[in-house]
């Protein structure tokens, strides 16, 4: 079983809250680290029965820069990834939920931010492509503020095939494009749904765009003609989930 490493105070705390079984889990805390959140992390680890070790800064720094680990590191045995594509889609369809599909998004900070937004707004999962995409690394986990502990993140080999599966289960498929035929407000409440956010620069691939029921445009009134991918995702998700 592989080891999973979580770095950063907020991500570590969220994973500690989500732990179902402490077997194999260990919390490393830098000697001298202090503050309210450090106290909360230590208290939560003890309450969950997680092994606690105080160590020198160098022990943590060998695994990642201090700006990433912030004096704490949680190691876990990598758990089973859970349900596969079919079961995941069936679960989300039953609750009329929303999935965000990131079409070859390579920036780990954008990926982490979108995972965080999806979880915070009540989305049901994020789908990544296996190639040309940021994996769920410690950087992504930290950028998500620990939301990866609470949200299903599924990696697929073929995004077009996944979208076909979703469409076959009566999901609405929405893409994002500057010249889209709908605004997010106009599709509020249309669920279950998959929202596709294209990669930085290139946007959605043609095969993904062809699977969409509608392409969504976000009306912009300023001189700047585009938004960061994570900001666009937040706007679209908010509108779909509020209906």
Provide the pLDDT for residue 164. Answer: 97
Is 155 within 8 Å of 135 (Cβ atoms)?
Answer: yes
**234 contact partners, CB below 8 Å, separation of at least 6:** 114, 117, 121
**pLDDT given at position 66:** 63
Distance from C-alpha of 100 to C-alpha of 15, rounded to nearest angstrom: 22
At residue 79, the pLDDT reads: 56
Checking DSSP bridges between strand 72-77 and strand 26-30, what pairing results, if any?
A: antiparallel
User: What pLDDT is recorded for position 46?
Assistant: 95
pLDDT at 242: 83
Going residue by residue through the chain, which has 243 residues, state the pLDDT in tens, using 9 for 90 and above. 567 889 999 999 999 999 877 888 999 999 999 999 999 999 999 999 999 999 998 898 887 666 678 899 999 876 555 668 999 999 999 999 999 999 999 999 999 999 999 999 999 999 999 988 999 988 899 999 999 999 999 999 999 999 999 999 999 999 998 889 999 999 998 999 999 999 877 788 999 999 999 999 999 999 988 889 999 999 999 999 986
The whole-model pTM stands at 0.84
* Domains along the sequence of the chain with CATH: 3-77 (3.30.1330.30), 85-242 (3.40.1280.10)
Strand partners, 66: none
Could you give the angle at which helices 229-242 and 108-121 cross, rounded to 10 degrees? 10
């Amino acid at each position: 079983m592989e080891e999973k490493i979580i770095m950063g105070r907020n991500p570590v705390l969220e994973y500690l809250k989500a732990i179902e079984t402490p077997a194999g889990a260990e919390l490393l805390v830098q000697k001298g680290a202090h503050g309210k959140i450090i106290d909360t992390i230590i208290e939560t680890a003890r309450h969950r029965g997680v092994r606690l070790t105080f160590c020198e800064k160098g022990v943590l720094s060998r695994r990642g820069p201090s700006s990433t680990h912030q004096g704490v590191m949680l190691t876990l045995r990598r758990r089973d990834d859970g349900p596969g594509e079919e079961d995941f889609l069936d679960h989300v369809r039953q609750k009329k939920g929303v999935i965000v599909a990131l079409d070859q998004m390579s920036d780990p900070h954008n990926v982490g931010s979108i995972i965080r937004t999806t979880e915070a707004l009540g989305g049901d999962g994020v789908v990544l492509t296996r190639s040309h995409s940021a994996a769920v690394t410690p950087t992504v986990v930290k950028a998500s503020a620990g939301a990866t502990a609470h949200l299903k993140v599924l990696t697929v080999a073929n995004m077009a095939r996944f979208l076909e599966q979703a469409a076959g289960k009566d999901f609405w498929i929405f893409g994002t494009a500057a010249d889209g035929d709908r605004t997010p407000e106009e599709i509020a409440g249309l669920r279950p749904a998959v929202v596709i956010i294209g990669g930085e620069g290139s946007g959605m691939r043609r095969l993904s765009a062809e699977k969409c029921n509608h392409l969504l445009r976000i009306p912009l009134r300023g001189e700047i003609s585009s938004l960061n991918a994570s900001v666009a995702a937040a706007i679209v998700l908010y509108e779909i989930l509020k209906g």
